[in-house]
Structure 1
Amino acid sequence: MFFKKKTPSTEQSEACESASAEQPAPEMPGYLQELRDRITAQDLPAMVRETAQLEWERLTGMDRSAPESGISINYLEFLLSLPWKAVTRDNLDLNRAATILKSRHLGLDAIHERILEFLAVKTLIGRQRPTILVVDDEEIARTNLAYVLEKDGYDVSMAQNGLEAVYYMDKQPADIVITDLKMERMDGIQLLGTIRKQWPDTSVIMITGYATVDTAVTALQKGADHYLSKPVNLTKLREQVRTLMEARERASHLHGPVLCFTGPPGTGKTSIGRAIAEALERKFVRFSLAGLKDEAELRGHRRTYVGAMAGRILLEIQKVGVRNPVIMLDEMDKTIQDFRGDAVSVFLEVLDPEQNASFVDHYLDIPFDLSQVMFIATANMAENLPAPLLDRMEVIEFSSYTYREKEAIARQFLVPAQLKRHGLTTQDVRLTDEGVRSLIRGYTREAGLRGLERKIADVCRKIARQRVDRQEADSNVPVVLDEERIIALLGAPLFTQTRALSAPRVGMATGLVWTATGGEIIFVEVARMKGSKQLLLTGSLGDVLRESAQAALSYLRSNAAMYHIDPGFFDVSDIHIHLPSGGVSKDGPSAGVTIFVALLSLLTGRAVRQDVAVSGELTLLGDVLPVGGIREKVLAASQAGIRQLVFPRKNKAEIEALDADVVQDLEIVLADEVGEFAKVALVQEGS
């Protein structure tokens, strides 16, 4: 027998190993233990739990002082803070929703109706109980399964073979079919084939006591969603049924609308979105996209970058703590799209119901379900949005407010709110009808209400200052805000309403245009002088408006005989077309007919009625195409004293949809071709 001689170095090594074996394992740092406990305790989806565990294991092998350690901890903290399953339950009381909408807004009845229709659809879907059909030739087996599933809240029917199951499916298709494999007359595989042909949306769970790999593969290849062996593990069955039902519920959300509110600033787009969230009792999130150009701000940065963080979408969802809030994407049309980035392209995925159920943020790097989020976009000009993005949204237009609506809103909402914010009450200040009209017409020129609200706040501040300085003789006497007092507080009116002229004029026609702040009337002036066939266009005109002027002149030259005009009128002449207010840029096709009427007046010597306004796009053949902004144009005409309007006949549907108070005291004429416009606008010969 041989013994190994121990050297001093060997003895020292063994002593060290013995000492280390006797020492306890180092304790796990507290933050690691806390993270592991949170991963274990939270109800996370399987993929998320697996990702968190792998990241935690990776973290435990890192040096605590390494930069990667902090990155990994931040990632785990963010992943565990996301609401993977937390949702708020929708309140689908239509009467309550209608009350909230009407109490917050005035003059948006069509918008309110569309929102209530959306809630009504959700209500009907929510009332439907999920249905399950259990198919088994053993009565005890199907009765036990039905008992368990009914306790989970499902509506359960039973059939003893495949033929009977097809009969029940013909009467009312079930959401899920749970079927045995071996049955007489029609087995489970044959039933599966029939369901896949006739009811492809129905989920199928196959159960059998003759479980083999071949039967399982065959069932799954034929289209079964899950395969279980007998005796059935009820926990697994209930979990699979719940998973399939959640998928069906998510699919029902896919067909919900993505609303896009468009219209001028201050018309209530954001406040309507907030009211929708309040009516549904959902969390509300709003963030502005104006000036956004970096895709990473929405989708996040990859963790390879220093200081990487998640995108705005997931960060906002993290803040509210639920995965089904109402998210308002404000000012979407002002997002920058250039060679440096295109953030709008992210929304092609986010707003697509077929894709957003598995939205991947670059930082999170695993899918997050956005299908239950209600997205609402806002834009001042929907035309500025890419066509593929518009195709994913339902556009709802917010029109300008009428003067009557602004007066009512000021009395009911704006004035009381501003008085309260400035420490005043209705006992201190009384705003007369003349004062309200003075504020609206003399100090604001807008389609919405923001400017009016600011002016009311300005008046309240000045009254508050006077009260504090004791400039009022008796502070108990209310301040009466009539037109004279408004002018004393705010100074001379900032705007004067453009009014139609009274006497007919030769070479001058009145038109109607739409602007970002609402409708406006414009005057088109034309003059003729000796020259060399030049068309002069002034008044800060855009390319489209210049082309309209050229088309109107060409049409008149080619049809001079029909209008009794000298065919050579342009040979030794220059024509000058001018639109006053040269400091304001103007563009669009709506002035084509107006320019034609002014030119015809000049060349025939017939005056144009100044109480008539026209709007329409002119073609070279004399046809008139429809125009937009009908409501805003009608409002502008009414405010300017116009009494008769001429629009293209193709705008008939929009005109008939106008409210009675919008067209009050106006006569609207519809015309197909440009000569009909001239007959109405020009003074009749001999009159």
Structure 2
Amino acid sequence: MGFFSRFEETAEEREVPASTQETLRNSIEAADLPENIRRVALDEIAKLDRIDPSVAEFGVGVTYVELLLSLPWKESSQDNLDIENAVAVLQQEHLGLAAVKQRILEYLASNINHHVRKSVVLVVDDEEISRDNIAYALSKLSCDILKAANGKEAVHILENRKVDCIVTDLKMQQMDGLELLDKVQTSWPDTKLLIVTGYATVDNAISALQKGAVHYLPKPLNLEVLKVTVKDILDQKKHACSVSGPILCFSGPPGTGKTSIGKSVANALGRKFIRLSLAGMRDEAELRGHRRTYVGAMTGRIITELNKAGVNNPVFMLDEIDKIGQDFRGDPASVLLEILDPEQNRQFLDYYLDVPFDLSRVMFITTANMVDRLPAPLRDRMEIIPFSCYTLSEKVHIGLEYLLPRQMQAIGFADNDISFTADGMSALITGYTRDAGLRSINREIGNVCRKVNLRILQGETLKPVVIDKSDIFDLLGDTRFVSEAAMATPRVGVVAGLVWSESGGQVIYIETAKMKGSGQLIMTGSLGDVLKESAQTALSFLRSNAQHYSIEDELFSTHDIHVHIPAGDISKDGASAGITIVTALLSLLVNRPLRGNVAMTGEFTLSGRLLPVGGLREKILAAQQAGMKQIILPEWSKQQVLAMDEEVVTAVDLHFVSSLDDVLPHVFAE
């Protein structure tokens, strides 16, 4: 009896795989899958019928079919097309960043316009009854319907009206459907054309499709099938228009709100938000997936995240795109070329999935600190939107209105238990932070709140607590950052320069010295080739104009000149220090001290001209934070600077110059 019992259990176990395959077949029939995906899934199940369930490949096949069933092939979230809502969301969640918000609203407005615009369908048929029946059926699609009796009338309409789709009969007088198709392909290639005819033959169908028709339907016409077909054509065309714009790339220093702006875009549109960090990614299989021939193969992160989201149109943020790597496992940047190109990502191929997945409905947004690190072909596919640093007043307002309430909530306090005065917040920002963004400020506010919380628990103070400037010094100790300009005294051969780095604007001092030697130029401070060339250019200019600047000629042959930029453990490069170096060298060679509260930036040429450089907003605010009184900038940058916020323009005294002679009155001490 026990033997037969075991035999019956084995039989039941053998029935399980058949039941599993039947369940998968039923799921496929019930699911609304694209036809090509449905065929692939059924073919995979047919393979399972020939595989022993105990073999590992059986489980792999079942997992693959389940993946095909779970992916959002047609599931999309409904977009919020209210532009006023987008404005309100961006204003509510972010202070400042006016230029960034404006560009994002323009981007959203163009997408919204494509969605709300009514599509236009042109019905061409020489039989009036047929023409009216088709027009009536298509009128339920909420689109504008135009009618023409033949190809010539259709061409006349096309010359005066933009049409999205044409439904035309094949056999007509004056100009038939194939002739109209040729004309449309030549003059209006963006217009889609569908042919219906009572003379349906294989040759006609092949000829029409080869010439560019998107579909071919026989008569007698099933109007419901026609309506569904035209709807699909219009939807595809509308989505193709809405995502045809460039991919947005948010660039700027850390902590300036790039990721949070991406979340706000998703909130404004009512879409799901996905964030994928690319920092340190070296294997392209992480994006494209592994082939199923490998043990433990899986889909890439793109398909995996879309599967988790359950929709095919989320806002997908690719964070830290400038920090991807490259080694023997491939180049992830080459995969991004396909992912981020609207013309290619309609047929994105994940190696594990092995069938194309349409990414055209996904709104991709990327972020980077240094876009110069990106490969040129990848950078060409994106529109760079720079995120600049915040002004002092913006930081104070954000600290009081946004960051402090979050820190209060984190430690369980009510809104009014701890408050900062404006002077207290300003003292915290200027004395204990130096970054262009908000992360250090948020960290120091949290530090203050925790210390106050401990004092409250120990009975040293009572709620509510108002923190002023003096309380900041008591809680956080001596200031970590001091005003460089306040400590600087006029010195020979030492001048302040303004540079832009990955973390924002910075003030650096360029130091020079001369000593007995043979006329060598010594450069130290981890300097790059461009910076070294700028120093050589500056020295050559002064040598060629020695008489003009009253420099003794023998100095160049009897002395070595040393140019040093402090912080030698940090690599430095760029042409923006050119004017700073030539000014420091001139001060050294004529032995005249330079003011310590004047900073400058600009590329200096061998002919003595001053060329514009980038990052001026960050440099101006860095100079203000360092206590500088005057800034010297290239004349060619004047319009760009004056177009900035008033707080930036009035932060310090700005002098726009075009040559070294214009610089000297502002820098030499009395």
TM bucket normalised to smaller: over 0.9
The aligned residue for residue 49 of structure 1 is 38
Work out which of the residue numbers 653, 666, 675 in structure 1 matches 2:661.
Answer: 675
The aligned residue for residue 255 of structure 1 is 244
| Cα shift readout 1:411-454 (whole Å, capped 9, x = no counterpart) | 11000111011111233212122221221122211010011111
Work out which of the residue numbers 576, 584, 587 in structure 2 matches 1:598.
Answer: 584
The aligned residue for residue 364 of structure 2 is 375
Structure-2 separation of matches of 1:511 and 1:187: 74
| Cα shift readout 1:25-83 (whole Å, capped 9, x = no counterpart) | 96764332321111110000011000000111111221111100111111111111100
Structure-2 separation of matches of 1:534 and 1:192: 76
Structure-1 separation of matches of 2:561 and 2:208: 82
> Are residue 508 (structure 1) and residue 497 (structure 2) matched?
no
Q: Per the alignment, do residues 492 and 679 of structure 1 end up closer, same or farther by CA in structure 2, a change over 3 Å counting? A: closer
The aligned residue for residue 125 of structure 1 is 114
Structure-1 separation of matches of 2:176 and 2:416: 82
Tell me the TM-score normalized by structure 1: 0.92
1:619 offset after TM fit, Å? Answer: 2.2
The aligned residue for residue 205 of structure 1 is 194
Q: Per the alignment, do residues 26 and 70 of structure 1 end up closer, same or farther by CA in structure 2, a change over 3 Å counting? A: closer
Give the conservation status (yes or no) of the 8 Å contact 2:519–2:556: yes
The aligned residue for residue 162 of structure 1 is 151
| Cα shift readout 1:376-406 (whole Å, capped 9, x = no counterpart) | 1011101111111000001000011111110
The aligned residue for residue 334 of structure 1 is 323
Q: Per the alignment, do residues 321 and 220 of structure 1 end up closer, same or farther by CA in structure 2, a change over 3 Å counting? A: closer
The aligned residue for residue 10 of structure 1 is none
1:269 offset after TM fit, Å? Answer: 0.3
Q: Per the alignment, do residues 580 and 223 of structure 1 end up closer, same or farther by CA in structure 2, a change over 3 Å counting? A: closer
The aligned residue for residue 261 of structure 2 is 272
Opposite residue 650 of structure 1, the aligned amino acid is W
| Mapping 1:105-144, distance limit 5 Å | 105-144=94-133
| Cα shift readout 1:344-369 (whole Å, capped 9, x = no counterpart) | 21100000111000100000000000
Structure-1 separation of matches of 2:185 and 2:526: 65
Opposite residue 483 of structure 1, the aligned amino acid is K
The aligned residue for residue 18 of structure 1 is none
Opposite residue 106 of structure 2, the aligned amino acid is E
| Cα shift readout 1:258-313 (whole Å, capped 9, x = no counterpart) | 11001010000000000000000000000111111011111100000000000000
Farther-moved stretch of structure 1 (274-283 vs 132-141): 132-141
1:136 offset after TM fit, Å? Answer: 1.3
Structure-1 separation of matches of 2:531 and 2:186: 58
Q: Give SS of 1:99's match.
A: helix
Work out which of the residue numbers 638, 641, 645 in structure 1 matches 2:624.
Answer: 638
Q: Give SS of 2:556's match.
A: coil
Farther-moved stretch of structure 1 (205-214 vs 322-331): 205-214
Q: Give SS of 2:649's match.
A: coil
| Mapping 1:144-543, distance limit 5 Å | 144-472=133-461, 475=462, 477-499=463-485, 504-543=490-529
1:227 offset after TM fit, Å? Answer: 2.5
1:466 offset after TM fit, Å? Answer: 2.7
Farther-moved stretch of structure 1 (321-330 vs 120-129): 120-129
Structure-1 separation of matches of 2:297 and 2:442: 41
Give the conservation status (yes or no) of the 8 Å contact 1:423–1:464: no
Structure-2 separation of matches of 1:662 and 1:412: 21
Give the conservation status (yes or no) of the 8 Å contact 1:501–1:611: no
Structure-2 separation of matches of 1:584 and 1:57: 62
Q: Which has the larger radius of gyration?
A: 1
Structure-1 separation of matches of 2:111 and 2:71: 26
Structure 1 unaligned segments of length 5 or more: list them. Answer: 1-24
| Cα shift readout 1:143-182 (whole Å, capped 9, x = no counterpart) | 1111111123232111122222222222213211111222
> Are residue 577 (structure 1) and residue 566 (structure 2) matched?
no
The aligned residue for residue 40 of structure 1 is 29
Give the conservation status (yes or no) of the 8 Å contact 1:445–1:517: no
Structure-1 separation of matches of 2:529 and 2:208: 66
Work out which of the residue numbers 594, 611, 626 in structure 1 matches 2:612.
Answer: 626
Tell me the TM-score normalized by structure 2: 0.94
Give the conservation status (yes or no) of the 8 Å contact 1:324–1:373: yes
The aligned residue for residue 662 of structure 1 is 648
The aligned residue for residue 565 of structure 1 is 551
Give the conservation status (yes or no) of the 8 Å contact 2:284–2:329: no
The aligned residue for residue 16 of structure 1 is none
The aligned residue for residue 9 of structure 2 is none
Structure 2 unaligned segments of length 5 or more: list them. Answer: 1-13
Give the conservation status (yes or no) of the 8 Å contact 1:162–1:183: yes
> Are residue 88 (structure 1) and residue 77 (structure 2) matched?
yes
Structure-2 separation of matches of 1:572 and 1:27: 95
Structure-1 separation of matches of 2:98 and 2:158: 42
Give the conservation status (yes or no) of the 8 Å contact 2:483–2:627: no
Structure-1 separation of matches of 2:530 and 2:171: 74
Q: Per the alignment, do residues 264 and 321 of structure 1 end up closer, same or farther by CA in structure 2, a change over 3 Å counting? A: same
> Are residue 651 (structure 1) and residue 644 (structure 2) matched?
no
Q: CA RMSD in A?
A: 2.0
1:585 offset after TM fit, Å? Answer: 4.1
Structure-1 separation of matches of 2:634 and 2:28: 66
| Cα shift readout 1:92-124 (whole Å, capped 9, x = no counterpart) | 211111111111111111111111111211222
Give the conservation status (yes or no) of the 8 Å contact 1:441–1:497: no
1:331 offset after TM fit, Å? Answer: 0.7
